[in-house]
Amino acid sequence: MRAITVRDRAAGVGGLSLTEMPYPHAAENDVIVRVHAAGFTPNT
């Protein structure tokens, strides 16, 4: 699974990177939601 992770919060958008992550496993009473699209708006 690919995820956007924050490496350097002070760098803003430049501190974000695309990272391979393991797929999550649901435990009892958990729900896994697949996200097809998301947006990012930096606070200035």
pTM for this one?
A: 0.52
Could you list the residue range(s) of the whole structural domain that residue 10 is in? 1-43
Domain count, the chain: 1
pLDDT confidence of residue 9: 82
The pLDDT, as a whole number, for residue 38 is 84
Distance CA 38, CA 3 (A): 11
**What does the pLDDT look like over 7-35, one tens digit per residue?**
888 887 788 899 999 988 899 999 989 88
Q: What is the pLDDT of residue 30?
A: 94
- Predicted confidence at residue 44, as pLDDT, reads 60
Q: How far is CA 35 from CA 2, 10, 11, 17, 44, in A?
A: 11, 26, 25, 17, 26
